[in-house]
C-alpha cells in the first residue's frame, strides 16, 4: 500500500507531502489545479519516462519519494535479487536534474532505472489516458485467468509441478545413462584387453632399460670381465703375487715373529680374491650374447611405450586407466538396463502429464468463458453497452511446463459489428480505465497488485453509470488500496479519504497544493462537483444526501 508521497519542485509543486490511507482515496479539484501533476509525479517515481520539463521553473532538481508498507513474497524476491535488505517497508525515490540525468534509489540504495521499474511493477499500477499498464501485456493475461479459476486450477498446477519434477528428474537420469550406454563397447573391450594382455608389472620398465643398456654394451662388458679376471688370476696376477709375498714372509718368520700376523692377513685376502675370481669366471661363462633376449627387450619396451601414448605416462597410470575402463565397462550393462527402466517411467509420466496438462487447459478455458461473461456484464453496466470481451488460447510448443502449455490473450471490441481484437491494439485510454474496473471487480480481492491508481476513470460518463462506477470502485477498494482522480460527485461521495488539489498564487508564483479533507470539507467539495457553490444550501443538502447514501451502501457490504 502507498502510505505517503513526497514531491519537490515538480511542475507547479514546490514542496508537497501527503499520506494516503487504506481503501478508496479520492483526489479532486478544479480543472487546471494540477491533478495531472500528482499522477505525473507518481509515474515518475515508478520509473516511467520523463524529461527536464518536469522540473519546476527556476529550480535545478525535481525529486519524488514514495513509501509502501507491504512487502509481499514477490517484492521480497525482487529485493533479494537486487541485494537490498528487506526493512519491512519500501521507499522509492527518484530525482532529475536540469541536464536530464536522473538518480533512482530503493530504500536509500542507488539503483538503475530498470531496477526501479522492476520493483515498481509489483507495487502499483496506474490506469489512465496515457499510461501503459501491465494488463496490456499479453504475457500477463494467463495469470489473470488463473486468478479467476480458483482452487481447482491451483490443485491441478500443484499436481503439474510435482509431475514435471519427476518427469525432468527421469529425463536427467536417462541422459546420464544414455551417455554411458552410447559408448562403443567393442572399442572399450579392446582397450581393456590390450592393457590386460600386456601383463605389466611394477618396476618392469626400469629393469628392461637396465637390461637394454647391458645388451647394447656387450663388448665393453665382456672385456671388462676378462680384464678383471686376468688381473686377479692371470700370470703375475694379484693372486700369484700375494702367494709369492706369503712365501717370502714365511722364510723369515723364525727370525721375526711380527710377520706371522701379516702372513695371516695376506692369507685372508687370498681367500677373498679366489672367491671374487670364481664369480668373475661364472659371469664370463654366462655372458654369451642372447639375440632373442635383445629382441624381447626392444619389443617389450616398444609395447610399453605404445600403451603409454594411449593410456598414461607410466605403468602405474596405465594400470589406473585400465581400472577406470573396467568400471565404465561394468556400468555399461547397468546403463542399458537403467535406460530401459527410465524409458518406461518417462512413458508413464508423459501420459500422466499429457492428461494433467489437458485438464489444466480445460479448467482455464472453462474459467475464461465464465470470466469473459462476467467482465462483459460489468462493462455493460459501466455504460459500454456494445462491448464484447473474450479470451483466446493458443498452445505453447516445446515439452511440458509446470504452468501447463497455454498462452492466453484478451480480445476486446467496444462497438457492434466489430469483431474482438487483441486488447492492447484497440482499447482507448478512457475505455481502459473502465475495463480495468470491470476486470478487477471480477477477480478475487487479493489477486494482483495491491495499489491501483485510476486517472479520471469517469471520463465520458454521468448519471446512473457514474453511480455504478463509484460503487464498483469502492468494491475493489475493500480488498486493495485505490487512488482515483475524479470530477464526479458520485465517486467523491464513496471516498474513505478525500484530497483537494488546488492552485494558488503567492508572490507572483503559482503553486499546486493538496489538502486532506475532513467530513465537512468532503461535503463542500462534493457540493462543488455537483455544480453548486461550495456552500450553497441546496448543493450541500444534496452532497449530504449522497454521502449518507454512500455510507449506507458501505455498511450494507459489511
The predicted-structure confidence for 231-260, as pLDDT tens digits, reads as follows 888 777 888 888 888 888 888 888 888 888
The closest alpha carbon to 90, from 125, 119, 131, 117, belongs to 119
Question: Residue 253: inside a domain, yes or no?
Answer: no
Q: Residue 304 has which C-alpha cell?
A: 610399453
Mean pLDDT of 214-220: 70
Task: Supply the pLDDT for residue 228.
Answer: 85
Q: Helix or strand or coil: residue 69?
A: coil
pLDDT tens digits, one per residue of 458-500 = 776 777 888 888 888 898 888 889 998 888 999 999 999 999 9
- CA–CA dist 241, 270 (Å, integer): 10
Answer whether 108's CB lies under 8 Å from 129's CB.
Answer: no
Pairing verdict, β 90-97 and 61-68: antiparallel
Tell me the CATH number at 46. 3.40.50.300
Q: Residue 260 has which C-alpha cell?
A: 706371522
Question: Residue 353: inside a domain, yes or no?
Answer: no
Task: Supply the pLDDT for residue 373.
Answer: 93
Answer whether 129's CB lies under 8 Å from 429's CB.
Answer: yes
pLDDT tens digits, one per residue of 259-317 = 889 888 988 988 898 888 888 888 877 666 566 777 888 888 888 899 989 988 888 99
Instruction: Please spell the DSSP secondary structure of 280-304, one letter per residue.
Output: HHHHHHT----HHHHHHHHHHHHHH
R_g of the chain, CA atoms, integer Å = 49
Question: Residue 528: inside a domain, yes or no?
Answer: no
Question: Residue 101: inside a domain, yes or no?
Answer: yes
> In the beta sheet, which residues pair with residue 411?
390, 422
Q: Helix or strand or coil: residue 413?
A: strand
Task: Supply the pLDDT for residue 67.
Answer: 94
SS (H, E, C) 433-491: HHHHHHHHHHCCCCCCCCEEEEECCCCCCCHHHHHHHHHHHHHHHCCCEEEEECCCHHH
pLDDT tens digits, one per residue of 51-67 = 888 899 888 999 999 99
Under the banding of pLDDT at 50, 70 and 90, the label for residue 130 is very low
pLDDT tens digits, one per residue of 332-386 = 777 778 888 888 999 999 999 999 999 999 999 999 999 999 999 988 888 788 8
Question: Residue 104: inside a domain, yes or no?
Answer: yes
Pairing verdict, β 102-106 and 90-97: antiparallel
Q: How many domains does the chain have?
A: 1
Task: Supply the pLDDT for residue 131.
Answer: 46
Under the banding of pLDDT at 50, 70 and 90, the label for residue 106 is very high
Question: Residue 485: inside a domain, yes or no?
Answer: yes
The closest alpha carbon to 529, from 485, 476, 482, belongs to 485
Answer whether 325's CB lies under 8 Å from 185's CB.
Answer: no
Answer whether 123's CB lies under 8 Å from 91's CB.
Answer: no
Q: Helix or strand or coil: residue 55?
A: strand
pLDDT tens digits, one per residue of 146-158 = 988 889 999 999 9
Mean pLDDT of 530-549: 82
Under the banding of pLDDT at 50, 70 and 90, the label for residue 546 is very high
* Degrees to nearest 5, angle at CA 504 with 503 and 510: 90
> In the beta sheet, which residues pair with residue 125?
452
pLDDT tens digits, one per residue of 168-208 = 998 888 888 877 777 777 888 898 899 889 888 888 888 88
Q: Helix or strand or coil: residue 141?
A: helix
Task: Supply the pLDDT for residue 132.
Answer: 45
Residue with cell 478455458: 365
Domain that holds residue 479: 1-124+449-515
pTM for the whole structure: 0.63
Range of lowest pLDDT (93-107, 234-248, 366-380, 516-530): 234-248
- CA–CA dist 68, 86 (Å, integer): 12
Residue with cell 490511507: 21
Question: Residue 334: inside a domain, yes or no?
Answer: no
Mean of the per-residue pLDDT values for the chain? 86
Question: Residue 423: inside a domain, yes or no?
Answer: no
* Degrees to nearest 5, angle at CA 451 with 390 and 404: 45
Task: Supply the pLDDT for residue 408.
Answer: 94
Crossing angle (nearest 10°) for helices 315-381 and 463-477: 150
- CA–CA dist 466, 526 (Å, integer): 14
Answer whether 239's CB lies under 8 Å from 277's CB.
Answer: yes
Percent of the chain at pLDDT > 90 equals 31
Q: Helix or strand or coil: residue 367?
A: helix
- CA–CA dist 409, 49 (Å, integer): 27
- CA–CA dist 251, 393 (Å, integer): 131
Amino acid at each position: 500500500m502507498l502510505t505517503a508521497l513526497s514531491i519537490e519542485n515538480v511542475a507547479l509543486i514546490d514542496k508537497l507531502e501527503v499520506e494516503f490511507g487504506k481503501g478508496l482515496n479520492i483526489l479532486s479539484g478544479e480543472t487546471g489545479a494540477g491533478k495531472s501533476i500528482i499522477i505525473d509525479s507518481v509515474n515518475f517515481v515508478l520509473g516511467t519516462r520523463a524529461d527536464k520539463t518536469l522540473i519546476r521553473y527556476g529550480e535545478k532538481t525535481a525529486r519524488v519519494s514514495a513509501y509502501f508498507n507491504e512487502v509481499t513474497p514477490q517484492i521480497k524476491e525482487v529485493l533479494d535479487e537486487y541485494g537490498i535488505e528487506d526493512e519491512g517497508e519500501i521507499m522509492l525515490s527518484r530525482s532529475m536534474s536540469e541536464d536530464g540525468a536522473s538518480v533512482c534509489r530503493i530504500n536509500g540504495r542507488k539503483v538503475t532505472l530498470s531496477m526501479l521499474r522492476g520493483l515498481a511493477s509489483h507495487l502499483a499500477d496506474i490506469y489512465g489516458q496515457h499510461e501503459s499498464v501491465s494488463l496490456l501485456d499479453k504475457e500477463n493475461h494467463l495469470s489473470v485467468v488463473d486468478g479467476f479459476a480458483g482452487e481447482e486450477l491451483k490443485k491441478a498446477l500443484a499436481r503439474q509441478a510435482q509431475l514435471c519434477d519427476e518427469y525432468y528428474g527421469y529425463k536427467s537420469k536417462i541422459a546420464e545413462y544414455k551417455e554411458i550406454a552410447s559408448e562403443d563397447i567393442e572399442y572399450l573391450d579392446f582397450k581393456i584387453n590390450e592393457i590386460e594382455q600386456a601383463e605389466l608389472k611394477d618396476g618392469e620398465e626400469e629393469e628392461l632399460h637396465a637390461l637394454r643398456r647391458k645388451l647394447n654394451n656387450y663388448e665393453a662388458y665382456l672385456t671388462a670381465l676378462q680384464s678383471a679376471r686376468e688381473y686377479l688370476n692371470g700370470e703375475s696376477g694379484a693372486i700369484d703375487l700375494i702367494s709369492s709375498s706369503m712365501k717370502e714372509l714365511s722364510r723369515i718368520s723364525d727370525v721375526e715373529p711380527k710377520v706371522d700376523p701379516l702372513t695371516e692377513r695376506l692369507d685372508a685376502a687370498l681367500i677373498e680374491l679366489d672367491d671374487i675370481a670364481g664369480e668373475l669366471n661364472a659371469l664370463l661363462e654366462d655372458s654369451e650374447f642372447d639375440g632373442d633376449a635383445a629382441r624381447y627387450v626392444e619389443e617389450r619396451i616398444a609395447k610399453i611405450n605404445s600403451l603409454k601414448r594411449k593410456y598414461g605416462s607410466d605403468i602405474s597410470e596405465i594400470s589406473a586407466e585400465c581400472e577406470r575402463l573396467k568400471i565404465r565397462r561394468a556400468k555399461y550393462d547397468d546403463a542399458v538396463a537403467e535406460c530401459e527402466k527410465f524409458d518406461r517411467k518417462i512413458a508413464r509420466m508423459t501420459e500422466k502429464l499429457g492428461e494433467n496438462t489437458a485438464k489444466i487447459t480445460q479448467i482455464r478455458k472453462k474459467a475464461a468463458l465464465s470470466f469473459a461473461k462476467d467482465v462483459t456484464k460489468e462493462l455493460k453496466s459501466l455504460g459500454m453497452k456494445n462491448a464484447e470481451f473474450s479470451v483466446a488460447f493458443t498452445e505453447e510448443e516445446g515439452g511440458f511446463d509446470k504452468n501447463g502449455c497455454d498462452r492466453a490473450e484478451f480480445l476486446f471490441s467496444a462497438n457492434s459489428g466489430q469483431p474482438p481484437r487483441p486488447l492492447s491494439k484497440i482499447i482507448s485510454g478512457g475505455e481502459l480505465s473502465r475495463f480495468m474496473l470491470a476486470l478487477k471487480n471480477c477477480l478475487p480481492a487479493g489477486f494482483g497488485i495491491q495499489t491501483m491508481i485510476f486517472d479520471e476513470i469517469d471520463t465520458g460518463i454521468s448519471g446512473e453509470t457514474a453511480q455504478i462506477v463509484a460503487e464498483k470502485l469502492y468494491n475493489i477498494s475493500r480488498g486493495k488500496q485505490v487512488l482515483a482522480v475524479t470530477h464526479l460527485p458520485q465517486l467523491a461521495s464513496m471516498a474513505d479519504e478525500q484530497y483537494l488539489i488546488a492552485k494558488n498564487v503567492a508572490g507572483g508564483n503559482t503553486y499546486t497544493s493538496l489538502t486532506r479533507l475532513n467530513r465537512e470539507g468532503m461535503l463542500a467539495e462534493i457540493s462543488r462537483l455537483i455544480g453548486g457553490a461550495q456552500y450553497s444550501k441546496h448543493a450541500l443538502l444534496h452532497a449530504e444526501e449522497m454521502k449518507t447514501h454512500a455510507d449506507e451502501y458501505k455498511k450494507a457490504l459489511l
